[in-house]
């Protein structure tokens, strides 16, 4: 799983089907980020079993 955060934002995304998934101008991590916020939409998709990574 990869985490992405758009530059200038504090929210991390990990579902490629998130409507806010950064496609350019982003920072990425291969592990769960220790700081910053986790995207609500990504969390909702994960709970629903609908998170594509
Ligand atoms: Zn997201």
Q: Based on the number of CB atoms within 10 Å of its own CB, is 39 exposed (0-12), middle (13-18) or buried (19 or more)?
A: buried
- In order along its 53 residues, the chain shows pLDDT tens digits of 899 999 999 999 999 999 999 999 999 999 999 899 999 999 999 999 999 98
Ion ligand 1: protein residues whose beta carbon lies under 5 Å: 13, 18, 20, 39, 41-42
CA of 13 to the centre of ligand 1 (A): 4
CA of 30 to the centre of ligand 1 (A): 15
Model pLDDT for residues 25-38, shown as the tens digit of each residue: 999 999 999 899 99
Residue 7 zone, left/alpha/beta (φ > 0; ψ -120 to 50; rest): beta
In the 8-state DSSP scheme, what is residue 16? Answer: T
């Amino acid at each position: 799983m990869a985490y992405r955060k758009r530059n200038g934002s504090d929210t991390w995304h990990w579902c490629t089907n998130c409507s806010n998934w950064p496609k350019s101008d982003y920072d990425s991590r291969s592990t769960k980020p220790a700081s910053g916020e986790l995207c609500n939409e990504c969390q909702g998709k994960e709970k629903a079993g609908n998170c594509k990574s």
